[in-house]
Chain A
Amino acid sequence: MQVDDTPTQERLQARFDRMVADEVRIEPRDWMPEGYRRTLIRQIAQHAHSEIIGMQPEGNWITRAPSLRRKAILMAKVQDEAGHGLYLYSAAETLGVDREELLDLLHSGKQKYSSIFNYPTLTWADMGAIGWLVDGAAIMNQVPLCRCSYGPYGRAMVRICKEESFHQRQGFEILHTLSHGTPAQKAMAQDAVDRFWWPSLMMFGPPDSASTHSERSMAWGIKRFSNDELRQRFVDMTVPQAEALGLTLPDPDLRWDEESGHYAFGEIDWSELDRVIRGDGPCNAQRIERRRTAHEEGAWVRESAAAYARKHAATSSAAGETAA
């Protein structure tokens, strides 16, 4: 009997393709094409960066939350974002990069984070708009990622999605309370929605016609639905919720389209997304500067913990020797 079990490149590729086609998850020790690995590292890292940069616009309001209840909720939410960042950095690390490397790439601007976090949070109502719209859009993007072909990313997304639904509801509740309050409170809620609506639609990325990586990511089972499909679903889901809030969405072209069974909406200003991605958003410089400073100012904590661990290890091994 002759069995040729030399794993040639073609065999490995064929096995990988078969696994993806059969919806079998790829795990860290499996062979995978270099492009697949690079795409995942880029996407998961960008996702992780978004979670931790996303702590800033909301952290901005912790000290000024209108009640102790709102403050406790907001702190729990910001803590969740840190946790989500950690799940995702861990998933990225299974691909052979390490977290420090990824943080360096974030700090030096070589890797990006979601452009939505480059908008300022000007009023308390922005906490509501972020929870309702930004987290709502994120959930729409993330639920299909739970079935991503790469196991560790999918598992991280399952945990994250479970936690995100609280985020979206608390945002909705903030806006609902404001929109049923005084005229000034309602105006504040409306203003927040006016500012965050279009950037939230941009979170789904460029239109399918201009999306560079989409097709390949679809073939690899990383991406399940196109940018435009997910954006449409988000609009369809959100319009009735806005009505329940008694708030309007800032789009004169928004209307129910009987024929397609979807809401039709106006043209998105893609030049704005380009500007923000390129670094010219209202808060790009501030966000990265804050992140770098936080990292540098936290250095002594990391060093102390390492020094303590070294000292402790030395003491216990010395004690072990004495006992022996």
Chain B
Amino acid sequence: MSAPAAPRTPHGWPLWEVFVRARRGLSHQHVGSLHAPDGEMALRNARDVYTRRGEGVSLWVVPSSAILASSPDEQDPFFDPALDKAYRHPTFYEVPEGVEHL
């Protein structure tokens, strides 16, 4: 069998992904999704569903259908190029004893 991939909405309202900025200085983070007929209603519903206790100072809603995802199975190969480059990490390098602030 094959797994149905993304959420689908054959009928009813489109699905929106909701992102909340908890406070200034932080980026928006994905918190969940909801259905709404349009963006304006999606924002209002997102406020009621995801920020009832002051969880955020800013909300984004994005149609779920507008999101492109990497390999559907979240399998490894797509991210392989990063795995064999240990020299990208500072811990790769040897520092002589006694050297500071490096």
Interface residues of A (CB under 8 A from B): 27-32, 34, 37, 76, 79-80, 83, 86-87, 90, 93-94, 96, 98-100, 155-156, 159, 163, 302, 305-306, 308-309, 312-313
B73–A98 touching, CB < 8 Å: no
Identify B1's interface contact among A34, A86, A87, CB under 8 A.
A34
Contacts A79-B52, A309-B41, A313-B38 given; indicate if A29 touches B3 (C-beta within 8 A): yes
Interface centre among B3, B5, B33, B41 (most CB of A within 10 A): B3
B5–A29 touching, CB < 8 Å: yes
Identify A156's interface contact among B32, B73, B74, CB under 8 A.
B32
Tell me the bound Cα distance from A27 to B5 in angstroms. Answer: 10
Interface SS of chain B: loop
Question: Chain B residue with minimal CB distance to A31?
Answer: B3
B49–A305 touching, CB < 8 Å: no
Residues of B contacting A156 in the complex (Cβ-Cβ under 8 angstroms): 32
Does B25 have its Cβ within 8 Å of any Cβ on chain A?
no
Question: Chain A residue with minimal CB distance to B10?
Answer: A98
Residues of A contacting B89 in the complex (Cβ-Cβ under 8 angstroms): none
Does B24 have its Cβ within 8 Å of any Cβ on chain A?
no
Residues of A contacting B37 in the complex (Cβ-Cβ under 8 angstroms): 302, 305-306, 308-309
Q: Shortest beta-carbon distance, B70 to chain A, in Å?
A: 10
A305–B74 touching, CB < 8 Å: no
Question: Chain B residue with minimal CB distance to A5?
Answer: B77
A96–B35 touching, CB < 8 Å: no
Does B48 have its Cβ within 8 Å of any Cβ on chain A?
yes
Contacts A80-B52, A309-B37, A309-B41 given; indicate if A94 touches B7 (C-beta within 8 A): yes
Tell me the bound Cα distance from A93 to B64 in angstroms. Answer: 12
Contacts A29-B3, A156-B32 given; indicate if A306 touches B72 (C-beta within 8 A): no
Tell me the bound Cα distance from A272 to B86 in angstroms. Answer: 63
Contacts A30-B74, A96-B8, A313-B38 given; indicate if A90 touches B33 (C-beta within 8 A): yes
Does B59 have its Cβ within 8 Å of any Cβ on chain A?
no
Does B4 have its Cβ within 8 Å of any Cβ on chain A?
yes
5 smallest CB-CB distances across A and B, nearest first, come from: A96-B4, A309-B37, A309-B38, A305-B37, A306-B37
Does B12 have its Cβ within 8 Å of any Cβ on chain A?
yes
* 30 contacting pairs across A/B (C-beta < 8 A): A29-B5, A29-B6, A30-B73, A31-B2, A31-B3, A31-B73, A34-B1, A37-B3, A79-B52, A80-B52, A83-B48, A83-B49, A83-B52, A90-B34, A93-B7, A93-B15, A93-B33, A96-B4, A96-B8, A98-B9, A98-B10, A155-B32, A156-B32, A163-B53, A302-B13, A305-B37, A308-B38, A309-B37, A309-B38, A312-B38
Interface residues of B (CB under 8 A from A): 1-13, 15, 32-38, 41, 48-49, 52-53, 69, 72-74
Question: Chain B residue with minimal CB distance to A94?
Answer: B7
Q: Shortest beta-carbon distance, B19 to chain A, in Å?
A: 14
Contacts A27-B74, A79-B52 given; indicate if A86 touches B10 (C-beta within 8 A): no
Identify A86's interface contact among B5, B7, B8, B34, CB under 8 A.
B34
Contacts A83-B52, A93-B7, A309-B41 given; indicate if A99 touches B73 (C-beta within 8 A): no
Residues of A contacting B6 in the complex (Cβ-Cβ under 8 angstroms): 28-29
Question: Chain B residue with minimal CB distance to A83?
Answer: B49
A305–B3 touching, CB < 8 Å: no
Tell me the bound Cα distance from A98 to B64 in angstroms. Answer: 14
Tell me the bound Cα distance from A155 to B18 in angstroms. Answer: 14
Residues of B contacting A29 in the complex (Cβ-Cβ under 8 angstroms): 3, 5-6, 69, 72-74
Identify B12's interface contact among A80, A100, A308, CB under 8 A.
A100
